[in-house]
Amino acid sequence: MLLGLDPLLTPDLLHALASAGHGDRIAIVDANFPAAANARRLIRLPGADAAAGLRAILSVLPIDDFEPDPALVMEVVGDPAATPEAVTDFSRLLRGAGAVPPRAVPRHDFYALAREAFAVVATGERRLYGNILLTKGVVR
């Protein structure tokens, strides 16, 4: 055990977050997301919801402030203006970390971006649309 770290920050997750460079993306995905089929590096947090995973990751990961949309979520299919409950939670957590709220992208665009992500963190999130992509920033 280490002092001061969220217990969701497993050794595999910490290694991935530390190994990622500025501009690399980390996907945090829900239980419905085809993570194994879309991940270059897959880290599982099966007992955690996506908001808890995001909270833990934001405690150690700087969010990019060079680009306008460092956080992306998946649009609701058939209702792109809708804001799912999980996305409301993500927005609150990002604001608390001093980052901008996420921008929604179409489902298949999100899948394509997740396939290119440095790592995919598969959570046990059961709420629909509990998926977010983060772009790593720099430590000043």
Q: Which of 64, 69, 79, 129 is catalytic?
A: 64
Q: Which of 15, 22, 108, 109 is catalytic?
A: 22
Active site (annotated) includes residue 111: yes
**How many alpha carbons lie under 13 Å from residue 40 in its C-beta half-sphere?**
14
Active site (annotated) includes residue 22: yes
Q: Which of 6, 24, 65, 111 is catalytic?
A: 111
H-assigned helices in 20-136: 35-38, 50-58, 85-96, 107-116
Q: How far is CA 10 from CA 2, 15, 17, in A?
A: 10, 8, 11
Spatial CA neighbour of 112 closest among 57, 54, 58, 34: 34
Active site (annotated) includes residue 64: yes
Residue 97 has phi, psi (to 5 degrees) of -95, 5
Active site residues: 22, 64, 111
